[in-house]
Amino acid sequence: MAALTPLDGGQIKQSRASLVGGIAVAIGVFVLWVAIARELQAEGVLPLLAGAAVSALVGLWIWRADL
């Protein structure tokens, strides 16, 4: 039985627009994270570091998934 292979070789394509979109979404997520942290009166560096990590992961996912 023949194996099915994608026409593009199965590579994930990442365009410049996807990269810019991922960066924009990451910035937006971080801004919202900081706003919510301030509203909940979370002070210190730890909430900001957590927000930076979450926003970086979301931005990376947007870029890699080409959304």
Per-residue pLDDT tens digits for 8-32: 565 655 678 888 889 999 999 999 9
Please give the C-alpha separations between residue 6 and each of 3, 11, 22, 52, 53, in angstroms, as whole numbers.
Answer: 10, 9, 25, 36, 33
**End-to-end CA, the chain:** 34
Residue type, 51: G
Distance CA 55, CA 30 (A): 5
Residue 5 has pLDDT above 80, yes or no: no
In the chain, what percentage of residues exceed pLDDT 70? 78
Contacts of 59 (CB under 8 A, 6+ apart): 22, 23, 25, 26, 27, 29
Residue 66 has pLDDT above 90, yes or no: no
Residue 53 has pLDDT above 90, yes or no: yes
Q: Is the pTM of this model over 0.85?
A: no
